[in-house]
Amino acid sequence: MKVLLLGHPNVGKSVIFNRLTGADVISSNYPGTTVDYKKGLMRHRGKDIEVIDVPGTFSLEPRDKAETVALDMLRDHPQARIICVIDATKLERGLYLALDLIEKGHAIVVALNMWDVARDKNISVDTVKLASLLGVPVIPTVAVSAEGLSTLMDRLLAVEPTGIAEVYMRLKLAGLMTGQTCNGCSGCIAGQSCALAPSVLSSEERWALVEEIARRTVIIGHYRHTLKDAIGDYTVKPLTGTPFAIAILYAFWSIFSTFSGLITDGFLVKAFDRHWLPWLQRWFPGGPGTWIYSVMVDLGHTTDGVWTASKTCLESFGVLTSGLYLEIGVVLPAVFIFYVMLALLEDVGYLPRLAVLMDTFLHKIGLHGYAIVPTILSLGCNVPGVEATRILETKKQRFVMMTILAIFIPCGAQIAIMHDVIPQYTGFVMAYLFLGYFVFGFFLNRIIPGTTPDIIMDVPVYQRPILRDVRRKVAMRTKSFLKDAIPFVTLGILIVNILYAQGAIDNLARASAPVFEGWFGVPRQTAGPLLAAFLRKDLAIAQLSAIPMSKYQLITAIVLVSIYFPCIGTFFMMLKEGGKAFFGSLAVLISVAFTWVGLLHLVWIVLGVQ
């Protein structure tokens, strides 16, 4: 038997889904779209049930991607039972969707979720009356504690489809529909349906019906302003909310540094440098100097014709050594902790408030307040960051965001290596990059046609995050990171290493050296690492630090490296998410590199240091 979970976003659908299904959850794109949905299995009273979490929709009119997918899913599973999840504190909104479903003849059960929040807000719903008016079972639930879910499933197994005409009839019988024509014709089918009642409603008619039903079933008590509400307000008001946001971002960054410091510097560096590397150096076929060994394990250093092995994974440049070290030792812990913190902020209800506070500024560069999420994610790894741009509504927004993310936001690996190799300049480099983020975001917004739609979103009540759901969310996102990012990054490293080994990089470096020296003001030896940086940014930084140059040249070189497209993983993700727009991003990248970094060189000249 199939069950579809429908409802608005943020009504607790996913929580219900998590409570009902076991561990075998598949999250995938609906074929031909970028909209995700989840599928899982459960057993209830001996029956095997497949539960599908349909993307949140407000109605069944196909107005955006999510709604189109929802409609398609309803069409593809006509026999499925439906659980329509409604937020008990926002009954009217949810009723609109429920009536639409009833009208379309589906067999539905209404889960009136967040019953506990409604109680706290002094809102009470007469579920018995509501059920009798709608003609479908209405079960109050508190998904976070799984209350009511068993009853919900019981009623679901027994439910039958009904129709709008029946709803109309029941309201009329209850004497509620005043002004509706009823001249006592024999169109009545004994309390079942009215021949004069429409079977399909217009939007206005549906809302009118919603209001009638809500008026009779919802009792709003005195609105008590609780401490939680007061904090909820203060954290979204600019005067009090901004300091709070600054504190939250401080916590974010501090926890990120501490965690990656512990896992990466504390343990993984040791594991990789003192165990993995020597082991590979010893056992990998080929031995030092051979082509395959150099590319996969260790390039080593050759001074005066004597080859010496590398001592750390970082300097070895091998696909299996540097590559794996960076991906698993540096980026993975970073991405993981970011996912955990974002999930916590999301589930507690803070993220929308942050988005509201940031929207003022982000709107000026043509982005939505929620664009803060891909930005933060990109600091861990650009690949999921770019992927996250799909939460933005318009093509223009996605393009701008994707481009400035890829160009100006350094990923965890870059930051780690910057910190390792040039800790004293890291702050400056990052500041210059963030400045570029806003400046170029602003320009791109002006140049590219299209408007940015205004923000419109719910600001939810604060609630305690449920650890179980956070765990699940993080696990799913980390798994997809491992699947998407790592193979491509490894591929990039392989390609660069081969190019280096073949000498292609050196040739290209010789040819382009004049540009680097003249326009950017960096020594010609940097050309090699800078070109390779296109595919292996983080390593380039390490290589650059070994070349003798002034600190200003070094800063310029590192900013240049950071501005290139991150790694080949991001490259592919941008192609995937942006399609043809990717080439536009490439064009922007080249112009940024020449202008923004050239500007920096100019600044040094003006200051007289170069």
Partner 1 sequence: MIKDLYELDLGQTGVITSIDGGRRHHLTDLGLRVGKRVTVLTRQPFRGPVVIQVDQVTLSLGKGLAHKIKVEVA
Partner 2 sequence: MVRLWQGYFALLGAAVLFCGLLEFLSAAAGHQLAFPPAVFSTGAFRGLWGGLVTIFSGIFLLKGIRDFGEVHQLAKLLMGCILLWIVAATDILALIAAAIPNAQPELWFNSLSAFLQSFAPPYTPAVILLPFSLPVMLCLHISGGAKPTADGSHTLENR
Kindly list the residues in this chain that would bind partner 1 in the complex (CB under 8 A): 58-59, 61, 63, 89-90, 92-93, 96, 121, 123, 203, 207, 220, 223, 232-233, 236-238, 352, 356-357, 359-361, 363-364, 369, 453-460
Which has the closest alpha carbon to 325: 526, 542, 525, 477? 542
Among 14, 217, 235, 445, binds partner 2 (CB under 8 A): 235
Establish if 220 lies at the interface with partner 2 (CB under 8 A).
no
Rounded-to-integer distance, Cα 107 and Cα 302, Å: 74
| Window of 148-156, 261-269, 436-444, 459-467 that interacts with partner 2 by CB under 8 A | 261-269
Strand partners, 301: 308
Strand partners, 83: 5, 109
From the CB of 259, what's the least distance to partner 2, in Å?
7
Give the Cα-Cα-Cα angle 275, 278, 283 (nearest 5 degrees). 115
Rounded-to-integer distance, Cα 99 and Cα 33, Å: 27
The residue (of 235 and 414) whose beta carbon lies closer to partner 1 is: 235
| 131, interface contact from partner 2, partner 1, none, CB < 5-8 Å by kind | none
Establish if 511 lies at the interface with partner 2 (CB under 8 A).
no
| Window of 78-86, 229-237, 307-315, 328-336 that interacts with partner 2 by CB under 8 A | 229-237
Rounded-to-integer distance, Cα 355 and Cα 375, Å: 12
**Is 104 in a helix, a strand, or coil?**
coil
From the CB of 58, what's the least distance to partner 1, in Å?
4
- Cβ 543 vs Cβ 529: under 8 Å: yes
Establish if 219 lies at the interface with partner 2 (CB under 8 A).
no
The residue (of 274 and 479) whose beta carbon lies closer to partner 2 is: 274
Establish if 250 lies at the interface with partner 2 (CB under 8 A).
yes
From the CB of 438, what's the least distance to partner 1, in Å?
14
* 367: number of Cβ within 10 Å: 27
- Quick one: tokens of 606? 């003006």
Establish if 255 lies at the interface with partner 2 (CB under 8 A).
yes
Strand partners, 43: 48
Establish if 243 lies at the interface with partner 2 (CB under 8 A).
yes
Amino acid at 395: K
| 146, interface contact from partner 2, partner 1, none, CB < 5-8 Å by kind | none
Strand partners, 306: 303
Establish if 446 lies at the interface with partner 2 (CB under 8 A).
no
From the CB of 247, what's the least distance to partner 2, in Å?
5
Rounded-to-integer distance, Cα 99 and Cα 168, Å: 11
From the CB of 506, what's the least distance to partner 1, in Å?
51
| Window of 79-87, 243-251, 289-297, 340-348 that interacts with partner 2 by CB under 8 A | 243-251
The residue (of 62 and 135) whose beta carbon lies closer to partner 1 is: 62
From the CB of 31, what's the least distance to partner 2, in Å?
44
The answer for 106, left when phi > 0, alpha when psi is -120 to 50, beta otherwise, is beta
Among 270, 311, 395, 510, binds partner 2 (CB under 8 A): 270
The residue (of 267 and 361) whose beta carbon lies closer to partner 2 is: 267
From the CB of 202, what's the least distance to partner 1, in Å?
12
From the CB of 454, what's the least distance to partner 1, in Å?
2
List Cβ neighbours of 465 (8 Å cut-off, separation of 6 or more): 343, 344, 347, 348
| 519, interface contact from partner 2, partner 1, none, CB < 5-8 Å by kind | none
Strand partners, 42: 49
Amino acid at 149: L
Rounded-to-integer distance, Cα 229 and Cα 233, Å: 6
| 237, interface contact from partner 1, partner 2, none, CB < 5-8 Å by kind | partner 1
How many residues of this chain interact with partner 2, rule: CB under 8 A?
Answer: 32
Rounded-to-integer distance, Cα 25 and Cα 38, Å: 7
DSSP 464: P
Establish if 247 lies at the interface with partner 2 (CB under 8 A).
yes
Virtual CA dihedral for 407, 413, 416, 419, nearest 10 degrees? -40
Amino acid at 195: A
Among 248, 348, 457, 495, binds partner 2 (CB under 8 A): 248
Establish if 226 lies at the interface with partner 2 (CB under 8 A).
yes
Amino acid at 502: Q
For every residue of 222-277, DSSP letters joined together read: -----HHHHHHHHTTSHHHHHHHHHHHHHHHHHHHHHHHIIIIIIIIHHIIIIIIH
Extended beta strands in 61-105, E state: 81-87
The residue (of 59 and 550) whose beta carbon lies closer to partner 1 is: 59
Amino acid at 117: V
- Cβ 8 vs Cβ 92: under 8 Å: no
DSSP 453: P
The residue (of 356 and 530) whose beta carbon lies closer to partner 1 is: 356
Among 240, 290, 502, 507, binds partner 2 (CB under 8 A): 240
Rounded-to-integer distance, Cα 149 and Cα 139, Å: 8
| 220, interface contact from partner 1, partner 2, none, CB < 5-8 Å by kind | partner 1
From the CB of 456, what's the least distance to partner 1, in Å?
5
Establish if 261 lies at the interface with partner 2 (CB under 8 A).
yes
From the CB of 232, what's the least distance to partner 2, in Å?
9
List Cβ neighbours of 104 (8 Å cut-off, separation of 6 or more): 60, 74
- Quick one: tokens of 207? 């809302």
Site for partner 2 in 377-436 (CB under 8 A): 427
The residue (of 60 and 248) whose beta carbon lies closer to partner 1 is: 60
Establish if 180 lies at the interface with partner 2 (CB under 8 A).
no
Rounded-to-integer distance, Cα 390 and Cα 528, Å: 35
Establish if 244 lies at the interface with partner 2 (CB under 8 A).
yes
From the CB of 97, what's the least distance to partner 1, in Å?
9
Residue ranges that bind partner 2, judged by CB under 8 A: 222-227, 230-231, 234-235, 240, 243-244, 246-248, 250-251, 253-255, 257-259, 261-262, 265-267, 270, 274, 427
